[in-house]
Chains A and B, each alone.
Chain A
Amino acid sequence: AQSVTQLDSHVSVSEGTPVLLRCNYSSSYSPSLFWYVQHPNKGLQLLLKYTSAATLVKGINGFEAEFKKSETSFHLTKPSAHMSDAAEYFCVVRTRAQKLVFGQGTRLTINP
């Protein structure tokens, strides 16, 4: 079965510093992986996706993620945090049946 594990439940960074949100996946085949963001009282928004093309994936709002098969990881990064990045972030794997399996989420806090 496919699954994802988000290694940090809460990450706190200062505005202007880099962001790293960690995710490991488990899959018996080449996975499709996603990062979604959920701002308070707003719906889930797709940040970026990996579907077996380029291993470095660029998303919206300056976010990137790198697929590393050898490490079974799909970490999300951003060079410089902005106050508006404060939100809950979910790493997600899609099953062959097209269901999404979500991680537990990482709450990102940005300190001024």
Chain B
Amino acid sequence: DTGVSQDPRHKITKRGQNVTFRCDPISEHNRLYWYRQTLGQGPEFLTYFQNEAQLEKSRLLSDRFSAERPKGSFSTLEIQRTEQGDSAMYLCASSGLAGSSYNEQFFGPGTRLTVL
């Protein structure tokens, strides 16, 4: 399977703990996106990378959130001092460059975070 993969699929943590999620994009894709989806809502943009550069961050991404894509391949999203309001599905997507013939975003299965 050469699609977008995410790990773990589920994470249960206690409030105040740190968590880290990983996303592996489709190998030839330069862009990688993170979205968050809360129950009953559509996904909301968090941040995106072009290669290893983080080009934009949403206001939703508080100081407790940090994302990296160190070698322009996989990406990690870390949440420090988790709060119950962080409970959501965290989705990763990847695409080719804007204007290319393959710039649609393909999504991974998501990581469901539950903060107790």
Contact = CB atoms under 8 A, between A and B. Distances in A.
Nearest to A98: B98
A interface: dominant SS: strand
A46 B56 contact: no
B95 interface: yes
Given A44-B93, A101-B45, A102-B43, 10 more contacts: A36-B107, A43-B91, A44-B43, A46-B106, A97-B55, A98-B31, A98-B98, A99-B48, A100-B43, A105-B40
Interface string B53-87: 00110000000000000000000000000000000
Contacts of A101: 45
18 contacts: A34-B104, A42-B109, A44-B43, A44-B93, A46-B106, A49-B104, A90-B43, A97-B56, A98-B95, A98-B98, A98-B103, A99-B33, A99-B56, A100-B43, A102-B44, A103-B42, A104-B41, A105-B42
The size bracket of the interface on B is 20 to 34
When A and B form their complex, which 8 residue pairs have the shortest distance between CB atoms, in order from nearest? A102-B42, A44-B107, A43-B109, A99-B45, A43-B107, A102-B43, A98-B98, A105-B42
B105 to A, nearest CB: 6
